[in-house]
Amino acid sequence: MKQVKKISRSPDDTEQIAFELGSQLKPPVLIGLNGPLGAGKTVFAKGIADALGVKELVTSPTFLGISEYYSGKLPFIHMDFYQKVTEASKIEYFLKKPSVVLIEWANNFQEVIGRSLNTDISITIDFDIKNIENEQNRKIIIRYTKFSL
């Protein structure tokens, strides 16, 4: 497994880091996104969606569980496991097609379902406590197996 560490100094930086990653994705791909509340997970998802050419406004799917976007060059499936975890069969359904599936709070899958979610890319966004004087700073760690970034 390879790993890349990035520092974001603003929401725009976070979105740009995600855009760069999204520009290199080859479907189907499952992305797990984790971090505390307010860390920038949905901002990161917006950057991926922008790279895919999604035209709709991308918002957090916390209450819906799943938001589907088909206006870009690839289908973008945005899930949120904060309050409700989607069963594995639904995730597998989307991955049978050439799509990008991004799951916020992906680590909740294991807690609820009892088995790990085998993501192609795992991303952790956290507050950069070394630079706490700037509360905009975020540490972004991208781990991946089958991609070269």
3-state helix, strand, coil in the chain (%, to 5): 30, 30, 45
Helix (H, G, I), strand (E, B) or coil at 109: helix
Residue 81 in any domain: the answer is yes
Cβ contacts of 19 within 8 Å, gap of 6 or more: 47, 48, 50, 51
- Out of 19-23, 95-99, 107-111, 118-122, pick the least confident: 107-111
Cβ contacts of 148 within 8 Å, gap of 6 or more: none
Q: How wide is the angle at C-alpha 131 spanned by C-alphas 20 and 108, nearest 5°?
A: 60
Residue 113 in any domain: the answer is yes
Helix (H) or strand (E) segment spanning residue 78: strand 76-80
Q: Read off the pLDDT of residues 47-81 as tens digits, 9 standing for 90 and up.
A: 999 999 999 999 988 777 899 999 999 999 999 98
- Asked if 97 and 13 count as a contact pair (C-beta separation under 8 A), the reply is no
Q: What CATH number has the domain bearing residue 24? A: 3.40.50.300
- Residue 71's domain comprises 2-144
Considering the entire predicted model, what is its pTM? 0.88
Residue 60 in any domain: the answer is yes
Helical axes 41-52 vs 11-22, angle rounded to 10° = 40
Residue 149 in any domain: the answer is no
pLDDT for position 84: 74
Number of domains making up the chain:
1
Helix (H, G, I), strand (E, B) or coil at 127: strand
- Which is higher by pLDDT, 135 or 32? 32
Residue 135 in any domain: the answer is yes
Residue 134 in any domain: the answer is yes
Residue 140 in any domain: the answer is yes
Residue 9 in any domain: the answer is yes
* The pairing of beta strand 121-127 with beta strand 100-104: unpaired
